[in-house]
Structure 1
Amino acid sequence: MPIDAEKALAAEPRTGPISWDHKDVQLYHLGIGAGTRPGLADPAVDPGELRYTLESRLQVLPSFATVAGAGLGMTAGLSSPGIDVDLAAVLHGGQSVRVHRPIPVRGSAVQTSKVAAVYDKGKAAVLVLRTEAADDDGPLWTNDARIFVRGEGGFGGERGPSGRTAYPKTAPDHVVERPVRPDQALLYRLSGDWNPLHADPAFAARAGFDRPILHGLCTYGMTLKAVTDTVLGGDAARVRSCRTRFAGVVFPGETLRIRMWTAEDLVRVEVTAAERDDAAVLGDTFVEHS
C-alpha cells in the first residue's frame, strides 16, 4: 500500500511516558564499548571510563536518547496513520540527536513521536520520524530518524534535501581506531533493539549477509563517544547535537577508523571499516559542541 503522505503528516502525535535510571545508562554505555580504551599500556584500566560506567561519577552521552524508552519512538512513527509499509523494505538511512540540556542520569519524561516529513526519492520514500522528550523542567532532546522505504516512492511528493557534503581536502586533525568486540551487538541489543539481524546468523543470511551485522545506532554511539573523548575532554555535557548518514554496515569484530576535522564549535567526522579497505560506514557526520 503506498504511503499516504498527507495523512501521515496530519496525524496526531503519539505520546507516552518513559523513564530510565543509572543501570539503563550504564548498559547503553557498555553496549557502545565503554569501559576500556585502546592504545593504553593497560587497556583494561582507564579511570576516565568511569564517567561512563560508575554510578557515582556517571554522565550521559547524548546518543542515549536513541534508546531511552527502549527506542519506541521509531516504532510509533512507523505505525502512524498513512504509513503501511513492509518492514523488510525499511532501511535506517540517518539519525540526528539534539539535546536541549544535559540528560540526567535518572529521569522520567513524556515522549512525543510523529512523522515530521515524507520525501519522494523516486524508487524509495524517505520518512523523517521525529521523537521529542520533555520532563517537568522542559525539553530534553529531539531525535530525527531518516527511514528509507524501498519501492514506496513515485507518489509525486517533494524530493527533499540530499544531505551529502564533500569531505575536507585537508588531512584530518585526529584519527582514532575503535575495535568492535565480537559480542558487541549481543550486548547493545539489550538496550532495546531486538532485531535478529544483529544476533541470528540464519536470519542475517536471509537478509543477504554472511553473518549478523552491528546496529547502525551502535556505530553512531561509538563514534560520538570517540569524538567526546578525543576532542571534548570526555565531557558529554559539551555535546549539543550529532547527525549522521548510515553509509555501510559494520560486522562485529571489525575496527572502526574514525577521522575528525575540527572547527570552532563543530567536528566533521568520517567513519570507515579498517579491515575492508576503509569501506564507508558513516558519512556526513557532524558533532556540534560548546
Structure 2
Amino acid sequence: MPIDPAKATSAEPRRTPLTWNPKDILLYHLGVGAGSGQGRAHPATDPDELRYTLESRLHVLPSFATVAGGGMAAEGGGLSAPGIDVDLSAVLHGGQTVTLHRPLPVRAEAAVQTSRVAAVYDKGKAAVIVTRADVADADGPLWTSVSEIFVKGEGGFGGERGTTTRLEVPAAAPDLTADRPIREDQALLYRLSGDWNPLHADPEFAALAGFDRPILHGLCSYGIVLKAVVDTALGGDVTRVRSYTTRFAGVVFPGETLRVRMWRDTPAPGRIQVTATAVERDDAPVLTDTVVEHS
C-alpha cells in the first residue's frame, strides 16, 4: 500500500533548514497578486501596495510561511515522509492553518523547521495526511503550520476517519466584500515560489487529474484571500494576524475572479470569518471554514 499510516506517524521528526531573503518575499507577494492593481481603486505604486512590492518598505504577508525556504515549508515533509508514496495527480490540498508566534522577518539565514506526519485518516475513497511543522530561528518560535493533504484513491485501509468541523456562514450580510481578479498567468508566477506540481501548469497533467485545464494552487488562493482581509479589514497591517485557517472547498481557474466576503467579530472580537467564491461559476465555493484571528 502506498501509504503506511503507522510508519508515517511513528517516524522521527524531520529537521530542515529554511532560508529566505527579500527577493523571495517580493516574488511570493507578486504570486498572490500584489502590485497587479487588479480589484483595487489605486495603482501598484500606491504606498499601501508598495509595502508588498518594494524592498525598502517591505513587510511580510503571514501566508508566506507556506512557501518559506522555496517550498520546503509548504510540503512539511508530508509527501516525502517514510510510509508515504503517492501519485501527485491524486493529491489536493484539503486544509491549511498557520499560527504566528511573532511577525515574520524579511530575511532568515538560520531558521529550522521541525516537521512530522501527525495523523493519517481514512475517508473511504481517499486518505488525508495531516502534517505539522514548527519553525523557529535564533530568536525563538516563528510559526506553526498544519496542513491536510487529500489523496484520492488511497483510503479504505481501516483507519480512523478523523473529525470534521464545519462553520455555518453567518445569516447576516457580510461586513466587507472584496473582489480579486486572478491573472491568466497567476499560477505560472506563483509556482516560482516552490510548488512545481505540473497540475498548475501542464494541461495534459491537469487532464489526468480530471480538469480540463490547469488550476490555481490552493495555497495561492489562500494567500490572495489573506491579503484581501489584511488590506480591507486590518488596515494593511500584517502584524495584526495571529492565525489563519481554511478548508479548500473547490478549485479556481486562472482568469476567474475571487469574491472574498468577511464578517467581523464572528462570533467574538478579534475573529473574522471569511468565505471565498468563484464569481464566474455562480459563486462556487473555493475557501470555506475560514477564519483570521487578529489583534
Question: How high is the TM-score relative to the length of structure 1?
Answer: 0.95
Residue aligning to 2:245: 243
Q: Which residue of 1 aligns with 2:122?
A: 120
Distance 2:125 2:280 in 1: 32
- Mapped to 2, the partners of 1:27 and 1:2 lie a distance apart of 35
- For 2:39 and 2:126, locate their aligned partners in 1 and report how far apart those are by CA, in whole Å: 43
CA offset at residue 151 of structure 1? 2.5
What's 2:96 paired with? 95
Alignment of 1:176-187 (within 5 A): 176-187=178-189
Q: What letter is aligned with 1:43?
A: P
Q: Cα offset for 1:51? A: 0.9
Shift of residue 126, structure 1, vs aligned partner: 1.1
Structure 2 CA distance, aligned partners of 1:204 and 1:153? 22
Task: Give, in whole Å, the separation in 2 of the partners of 1:84 and 1:211.
Answer: 25
Partner SS state of residue 182, structure 1: coil
Bigger mean CA offset, 267-276 vs 85-94: 85-94
Match of 1:155, as an amino acid? F
Seen in structure 2, the aligned counterparts of structure 1 residues 112 and 283 have a Cα distance that, compared at 3 Å, is same
Rate the CA distance shift 1:170–1:14 in 2: closer, same or farther, 3 A. Answer: same
Q: Distance in 1 between matches of 2:247 and 2:43?
A: 30
Q: For the residues of structure 2 that align with 1:160 and 1:143, how far apart are their CA atoms?
A: 19
> Are positions 1:268 and 2:270 aligned together?
no
**CA spacing shift, 1:84–1:162, aligned 2, 3 Å:** same
Partner of 1:173: 175
**For residues 155-198 of structure 1, what are the alpha-carbon distances to aligned partners after superposition, in whole Å with 9 as ceiling and x for unaligned?**
33222111222111111101110111111111111101111221
For 1:98, give the aligned amino acid: T
The range that moved more, 109-118 or 71-80, is: 71-80
Question: Hey, what's the Cα distance between the residues in 1 that align with 2:96 and 2:39?
Answer: 29
Q: Contact 1:197/1:204 (CA < 8 Å) preserved in 2?
A: yes
SS where residue 68 of structure 1 aligns?
coil
**Sequence identity percentage:** 70
The verdict on how the C-alpha distance between 1:51 and 1:122 changes in structure 2, with shifts beyond 3 A counting, is same
Partner secondary structure for residue 250 of structure 1? coil
Q: Does 1:278 align with 2:283?
A: yes
In structure 1, give the amino acid aligned to 2:33: G
Question: Gaps spanning 5+ residues in structure 1: where?
Answer: none
Alignment of 1:133-282 (within 5 A): 133-263=135-265, 264-282=269-287
Q: Is the 8 Å Cα contact of residues 265 and 289 (structure 1) preserved in structure 2? A: yes
1:71 Cα deviation after fit: 1.8
Aligned to 2:107: 106
AA aligned opposite 1:3: I
The aligned counterpart of 1:84 is: 85
Match of 2:131 in 1: 129
Counterpart amino acid of 1:128? Answer: V
Name the CA distance, whole Å, in 1 between partners of 2:93 and 2:41.
38
Letter in 2 for 1:97: V
- Name the residue aligned to 1:10: 10
How big is the alpha-carbon RMSD for the aligned residues of Structure 1 and Structure 2? 1.6
More off after superposition, 218-227 vs 149-158: 149-158
Q: Determine if contact 1:94/1:146 at 8 Å carries over to the other structure.
A: yes
Structure 1 runs (4+) greater than 6 angstroms displaced: none
Alpha carbons of structure 1 residues 238 and 75: separation in structure 2 relative to 1, 3 Å? closer
SS at match of 1:78: coil
Query: What's the offset of the Cα at 1:24?
Result: 0.3
Task: Give the match for residue 49 of structure 1.
Answer: 49
Partner SS state of residue 178, structure 1: strand
Per the TM alignment, residue 40 of structure 1 is displaced from its structure 2 partner at its CA by 5.1
Residue 69 of structure 1: aligned partner: 69
**Matched residues in 2 for 1:231 and 1:42: separation?**
17
Q: Deviations over 1:95-147 (max 9, x none)?
A: 11111100000113011111011222222221111122110111111111101
Is contact 1:35–1:46 with CA below 8 Å preserved after alignment? Answer: no
Decide whether the 8 Å contact of 1:37 with 1:46 is kept in 2.
no
Q: Deviations over 1:249-286 (max 9, x none)?
A: 11111110000011010110000011111011111111
Unmatched tracts of structure 2, length 5 or more: none
Cα shift at 1:48? 0.6
